[in-house]
């Protein structure tokens, strides 16, 4: 069969194509009986033609080869035949639906894969047993390993064979798609890590975007002020489509979704950075509260959680995903049960929430809270299976005692923890931070009723690393619009000293961290 397929191809092209994954050749041979020989010849000529120019890696997908052929004006009939056959000869994987899996050279970016997916790739493409995937996982994510290429494992008893390295190099990449650009350290020890997204020409995902994304490491201290661990606040998108009015990230609009590899790489690079700085404190908690709406990038985030739990060995109970309330995706997330959920409520009436959280216009309060009542019924509460209700306090907008009473009533039949967030001002905002007395009074309504309620301590605000401050509006050619407030509230925003930074509120015995992007 092989001699027929490579008929009229030159020797160099034949040798290059013979290096393609065994699964591809096996699939080709099995399907050959019901595929016309002329069409196969056309397809192979398209691919071989570009293999000769050395611009295709052996694992380059046929769709990518066809794209290149189209750019070089291959005939319409040739492209049509190739496209018709591509579904027959491309290896298919359970993870093929996720975006950003391949770099521009057609290499699979392995940090996109969960352990079962990596095992699938090893078996079907590299011809390696599942244990090889576990070995690779340990080197990618194991403590103080975090290798960038397989050669870094040389000299170790658990190093890789030359044959395996050759297979990986020819068809895969260990690149994470991010590069640490700068670190900003706040007075309280909070560290904001700014990452540059690698473009396609730099080894990033094909058709990847340029720009930056931010991750925050928040020190968690005990009563004596000792730094015991870090909470890592991760970003899932460049910008955000939700346009929450109090959030700086939301002003950017959505520029791009991050791939699984790019989200995972934030934690890998953060661990590597702390090790290089000889910081003995470990990252123990993960919150998806940075730039972007996590459930708007659902598949990539769910795969990331699996890698964090199995590869980086972080407890699922220490991973929290925050959402503004995309109800269908939220229901899927709850059913999966892979991590804990936080919901950004921020208002007690549809009128106010329609304004400050525009997603409410699609999923209003009764629909959102109804889903939470079904999944977290108070009368069937058990252990730590609760939802966190996040509520940013905005002076004169949603911080009255009437708001507190409504929030208490709305959540009375939901097993939840209410987490109040002190607003962190930024340039151009019309909102103000609530007075300390208002925050105490709001919280007091819950404490009097015997309901748990905490205040999230603001951390990192002097370096724009606190809740609602991440991102760079200058990256966006068309910043998201500020929406018209309800008439009853408009007067409260005029002449209020917008952007004034109040004294940070810290209350003894409270929990919560200073994250980050607004969710």
Residues 24 and 3: their CA atoms lie apart, in Å, by: 16
Residue with tokens 């966006």: 476
Cβ atoms of 461 and 469 within 8 Å: the answer is yes
Interacting residues of 282 by C-beta distance below 8 A, sequence separation 6+: 229, 230, 274
Helices 298-310, 260-276: axis angle to 10 degrees equals 40
3-state helix, strand, coil in the chain (%, to 5): 40, 15, 40
Q: Is 495 exposed, middle or buried (0-12, 13-18, 19+ CB in 10 A)?
A: exposed
Interacting residues of 164 by C-beta distance below 8 A, sequence separation 6+: 126, 128, 132, 150
Task: Enumerate the active-site residues.
Answer: 214, 467
Residues 304 and 289: their CA atoms lie apart, in Å, by: 14
Report residue 344 as tokens: 């950004």
Measuring CA to CA, which residue among 293, 397, 409, 401 is closest to residue 342? 293
Rg of the chain over all Cα atoms, to the nearest angstrom? 26
User: For the chain, how many residues are written?
Assistant: 519
């Amino acid at each position: 069969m092989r001699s027929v397929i490579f008929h009229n191809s030159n020797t160099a092209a034949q040798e290059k194509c013979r290096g393609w994954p065994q699964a591809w050749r096996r699939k080709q041979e099995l399907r050959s009986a019901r595929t016309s020989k002329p069409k196969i010849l056309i397809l192979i000529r398209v691919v071989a033609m570009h293999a000769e120019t050395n611009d295709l890696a052996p694992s380059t997908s046929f769709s990518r080869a066809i794209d290149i052929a189209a750019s070089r004006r291959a005939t319409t009939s040739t492209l049509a035949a190739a496209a018709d056959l591509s579904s027959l000869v491309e290896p298919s994987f359970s993870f093929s639906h996720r975006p950003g899996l391949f770099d521009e050279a057609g290499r699979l970016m392995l940090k996109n894969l969960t352990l079962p997916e990596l095992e699938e790739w090893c078996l079907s493409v590299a011809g390696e047993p599942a244990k090889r995937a576990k070995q690779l996982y340990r080197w990618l994510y194991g403590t103080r390993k975090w290798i960038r290429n397989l050669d870094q494992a040389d000299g170790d008893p658990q190093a890789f064979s030359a044959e395996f390295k050759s297979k990986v190099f020819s068809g895969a990449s260990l690149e994470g798609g991010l590069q640490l650009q700068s670190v900003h350290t706040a007075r309280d020890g909070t560290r904001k890590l700014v990452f540059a997204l690698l473009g396609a020409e730099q080894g990033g995902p094909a058709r990847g975007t340029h720009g930056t994304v931010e991750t925050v490491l928040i020190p968690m201290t005990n009563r004596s002020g000792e730094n015991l661990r870090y909470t890592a606040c991760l970003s899932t998108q460049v910008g955000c489509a939700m346009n929450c009015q109090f959030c700086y990230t939301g002003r950017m609009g959505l520029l791009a979704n991050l791939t699984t590899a790019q989200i995972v790489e934030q934690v890998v690079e953060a661990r590597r950075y702390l090790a290089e700085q000889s910081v003995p404190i470990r990252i123990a908690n993960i919150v998806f509260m940075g730039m972007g709406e996590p459930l708007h990038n659902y598949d990539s985030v769910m795969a990331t959680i699996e890698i964090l739990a199995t590869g980086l060995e972080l407890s699922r109970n220490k991973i929290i995903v925050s959402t503004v309330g995309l109800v269908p995706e939220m229901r899927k997330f709850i059913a999966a049960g892979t991590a804990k959920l936080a919901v950004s409520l921020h208002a007690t009436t549809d009128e106010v929430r329609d304004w400050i959280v525009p997603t409410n216009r699609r999923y209003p309060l009764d629909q959102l809270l109804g889903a939470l009542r079904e999944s977290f019924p108070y009368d069937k509460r058990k252990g730590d299976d609760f939802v966190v209700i996040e509520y940013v306090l905005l002076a004169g907008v949603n911080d009255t005692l009437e708001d507190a009473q409504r929030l208490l009533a709305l959540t009375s039949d939901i097993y939840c923890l209410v987490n109040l967030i002190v607003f962190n001002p930024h340039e151009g905002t019309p909102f103000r931070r609530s007075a300390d007395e208002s925050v105490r009074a709001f919280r007091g309504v819950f404490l009097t009723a015997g309901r748990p309620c905490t205040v999230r301590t603001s951390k990192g605000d002097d370096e724009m690393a606190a809740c609602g401050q991440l991102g760079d509006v200058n990256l966006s050619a068309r910043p998201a619009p500020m929406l018209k407030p309800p008439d009853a509230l408009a007067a409260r925003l005029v002449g209020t000293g917008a952007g004034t930074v109040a004294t940070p509120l810290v209350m003894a015995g409270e929990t919560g961290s200073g994250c980050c992007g607004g969710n």
